[in-house]
Amino acid sequence: MPAPESALLQSWHHNAPSWIEAVRSGAIESRQQVTDQAILLAVLGRQPERVLDLGCGEGWLLRTLTERAIEAVGVDGDATLVEAARLAGSARVHLASYDALVEAKVDIGNNYDLICANFALLHQDIIPLLAAMNALLAPGGALVIQTLHPWTVAAGDYQDGWRNETFAGFKGQWHPMPWYFRTLASWTNALDMAGFRLASLQEPQHPQSPVPQSLLLVAEPRG
């Protein structure tokens, strides 16, 4: 049985076409109602000139930022998603696994005003990757992370550990995807160990929903 990290990457390779269709057709209600706007406002609120989208997927955020005259660079570990982003008009999209980024095997540029990770940190050991991203930030730069809200998705089991996403209710052919659940304390500890301090914490929520749709963290390198 493959390790969860390997199974996670393989699931993206299989699910990429279905994911592209789901994002571009507006099939993911939480994104349409809350989370896409939440990450966009968080990025724009920092007034960056140069942004790296870590785990950019099919590139919707890259295109949205480019329309606002922001230099947007993407990186993703799946070739199908990278190609889709490029074909949709994003010229600067790199193909690189997170391991390759940690080991600096791929040059994705540096001196970024902001690095964002929108539902893109799903593996267990994120600290080396966060530390690598810290080194790519310009002075005064920031890291913006949007992720599943731990309290909302805990399902009565509030402790770090691997979970399984089956994509029930999604149209198309999907392979189950392992992902790593972490508590709020685990998120803040990971940021601290990667050399960041938490600047703000938001809980984006639809006014008609009783629970938050996501957790949004803005972190800055410690001086």
56, pLDDT greater than 80: yes
Which residues face 53 on adjacent strands? 74, 116
Per-residue pLDDT tens for 201-213? 999 998 888 999 9
How many domains is the chain partitioned into structurally?
1
* Closest C-alpha to 221, from 143, 146, 125, 144: 143
Per-residue pLDDT tens for 58-112? 999 999 999 999 999 999 999 999 999 999 999 899 999 999 999 999 999 999 9
Query: What does the buried/exposed string (b/e) look like for 116-147 if buried means 16 or more CB atoms within 10 Å of the residue's CB?
Result: bbbbbbbbbebbebbebbbebbeeebbbbbbb
Burial label, 33 (beta-carbon count in 10 A; 0-12, 13-18, 19+): middle
Per-residue pLDDT tens for 11-49? 999 999 999 999 999 999 889 899 999 999 999 999 999
124: CATH: 3.40.50.150
**Alpha carbon 83 to its chain's center:** 18
Per-residue pLDDT tens for 136-181? 999 999 999 999 999 999 999 999 999 999 998 888 889 999 999 9
* Long-range Cβ contacts of 85-94 (<8 Å, 24+ apart): 85/56, 85/57, 85/58, 85/59, 86/59, 88/58, 88/59, 88/63, 89/59, 89/63, 90/56, 90/59, 90/62, 90/63, 90/66, 93/56, 93/59, 93/62
Which structural domain range is residue 51 located in?
Answer: 4-221
Local confidence band at 185 (pLDDT 50, 70, 90 cut-offs): very high
The secondary structure of the chain, three-state, reads: CCCHHHHHHHHHHHHHHHHHHHHHCCCCHHHHHHHHHHHHHHHHCCCCCEEEEECCCCCHHHHHHHHCCCEEEEEECCHHHHHHHHHCCCCCEEECCHHHHHCCCCCCCCCEEEEEEECCCCCCCCHHHHHHHHCCEEEEEEEEEEECCHHHHCCCCCCCEEEEECCCCCCCCCCCEEEEECCHHHHHHHHHHCCEEEEEEECCCCCCCCCCCCEEEEEEECC
pLDDT value of position 1: 54
